[in-house]
Structure 1
Amino acid sequence: MSQQTELLREERFSGRPKAVLLDLDGTLYRGETPIEGACELVEELEEAGIACWYLTNNSTRTPEQVAAHLRGFGIPADATRVITSAAAAAHYAKKRHPDATAFVIGEHGLRSALAEAGIAMPDEAELAAGASVNLVVQGLDRDLNYGQLTAALGYLLSGADYLLTNPDRRLPVGDGFLPGAGSLAALLETASDVTPVVIGKPSGIMMRYALDLAGIEASEAWVVGDNPHTDLAAGLSAGCPTVLVLTGVCGRNDWRQRCERAGAMPDAVCEGPDEVRALISGMRIAGGPANT
């Protein structure tokens, strides 16, 4: 284990995890650049029988697109292990609103997930003809127009339930930012006085969905991410051991202050993927001795 790794709550780690729930941007890559050691981390974990799952608040891409993006960095990702906020929202909608007719603000990833879950989504002609809507599902939509916002507001004021894929206020692009799904939700919530059910990180809904798919208990899954407000908060709310990597939002000099402000203190802090790999390899196998 690297001397740079900080174990803040060693008792939270009962041994090697059965699975690792990995954040993407800021943890495995930054923008279009892979983070050093990310590919080796995934390869070594999989070889050791520790399943890698990929969790993203991005609702615009399908799991297949996310997996292809990761493979482009040399990370051997399988789409069946990718969990997007769109997929989690579709699962939640099907479970809680099985007969819903949804008005959707979102891109291909969200619409595809809802369609696969069997959620009815009237097209423009059907809506114009008076199709009823009892659910608004909203994610990021970079082609959103005022008419769509007005329609969504009308459905919410008429009693439709409201699901939000993720609360991210800003979306990093290149050297700047775009308004995120959370910023669009702030407008609708202000206008309607309807608070959405948040699906993605830091909500525990997405985490419980991931744990159910992985077939494991929270204590058996480590959450690894760079953002205290989303990754760490989600992991802690689900009861998972959490590892902060200093490859994205936080740096060596400010991680503690950022985590304190977020109210999400990690169980361990690693410089990056190589240290995560060393931390896991140094953990005891359940009932066995630690590696030396």
Structure 2
Amino acid sequence: MTYRGAVVDLDGTVVRGGDPIPGALDALTALRERVDRVLFLTNNPTVPPAEYARRLRALGADATAAEVLTATTATIHYLRERHAEDDVLPIAEESIAAQLRDAGLTLTDDAEAAGVVVAGYHREFHYRDLQTALDALDDDTALVGTDPDRTVPTESGRKPGSGAIVNAVAGVADREPEAVLGKPSETTARLAADRLGVPARECVLVGDRLDTDVAMGESVGMTTVLVRTGVDGDEEVSESEAKPDHVVDSLADVPALLG
């Protein structure tokens, strides 16, 4: 099999916290020698693509902003398609709100004025945020989540992620979100394919999560590789509906799979 594109997760696959996972940078160089296009795909909604690319370059990896697709990028695309005229009330950190604002969306902190509530990663999440969301989410107001990751891997262990906030808001409002972006959403899969410009069957997707990375790759027909350096491992594979084509110790093992 000849692969032309590679989709690579970041947190838990290339980096852990701010540090590269051993062997990951050399593996990225080797991947670029084997495929035509590389796309970094992350459910971290807090860091803009340009900043992610800058951080990767500072670590020694080739990367441009156009090669980074984030959960917030996908959320912005979704909002532009479905809620371009609506005022957006973010229940999320300022770094996420700033990206929405910079994309030209109209933000509000007025619950009555909101046409859509966007819930995402929020380390200062407070009871008052739940009250604001509850006040805003009437029958005419949509709820959108940036990504489903309930936890995120860090150098000091797992921490609550966006999914925890999305689920809390959805629970108090007693409703399902209209959409949750990031992996494995159809919107994100479509954006990734558009960025690569390569048929899914000619792409390999590498990540550390079964329910997001592997599930998205499976849904569009990519070859999927699970690395053991992040959230999921062999025990989770045995219990999961999503089944990776390969399970390896780390990203360093992936170039050899491609020949």
Q: Is TM > 0.5 for Structure 1 vs Structure 2?
A: yes
Percent of aligned pairs with the same residue? Answer: 36
- How far the C-alpha of 1:195 sits from its partner, in A, is 0.8
Change in Cα spacing, 1:208 to 1:185, as seen in structure 2 (3 Å) is same
Matching residue of 1:185: 166
Which consecutive unaligned segments of at least 5 residues does structure 2 have?
none
- 2:186 pairs with 1:204: yes
Aligned length: 258
Does the Cα contact within 8 Å between 1:136 and 1:163 map onto a contact in 2? yes
Greater Rg by CA: 1
Matching residue of 1:271: 249
CA shift digits 1:52-82 (9 cap, x unpaired):
1111111111112212222233222212111
- How far the C-alpha of 1:245 sits from its partner, in A, is 1.9
Give the AA of the match of 2:6.
V
Change in Cα spacing, 1:108 to 1:53, as seen in structure 2 (3 Å) is farther
Matching residue of 1:80: 66
Distance 1:173 1:274 in 2: 20
Match of 2:125 among 144, 162, 187: 144
CA shift digits 1:205-238 (9 cap, x unpaired):
2121111122222212211012212211121122
Which consecutive unaligned segments of at least 5 residues does structure 1 have?
1-14, 283-292
- 2:44 pairs with 1:58: yes
Matching residue of 1:89: 75
Matching residue of 1:70: 56
SS class of match (2:130): helix
- 2:21 pairs with 1:35: yes
Taking the TM superposition and a 5 Å limit, the aligned residue runs for 1:196-275 are: 196=177, 197-251=179-233, 255=234, 257-275=235-253
- How far the C-alpha of 1:153 sits from its partner, in A, is 1.3
- How far the C-alpha of 1:37 sits from its partner, in A, is 2.4
- How far the C-alpha of 1:109 sits from its partner, in A, is 4.0
Does the Cα contact within 8 Å between 2:7 and 2:41 map onto a contact in 1? yes
Distance 1:187 1:249 in 2: 22
- How far the C-alpha of 1:158 sits from its partner, in A, is 4.3
Give the AA of the match of 1:102.
V
Distance 1:229 1:48 in 2: 27
Does the Cα contact within 8 Å between 2:16 and 2:154 map onto a contact in 1? no
Does the Cα contact within 8 Å between 2:3 and 2:34 map onto a contact in 1? no
CA RMSD of aligned residues (A): 2.1
SS class of match (2:256): helix
Give the AA of the match of 1:33.
D
Does the Cα contact within 8 Å between 1:94 and 1:118 map onto a contact in 2? no
- How far the C-alpha of 1:172 sits from its partner, in A, is 3.5
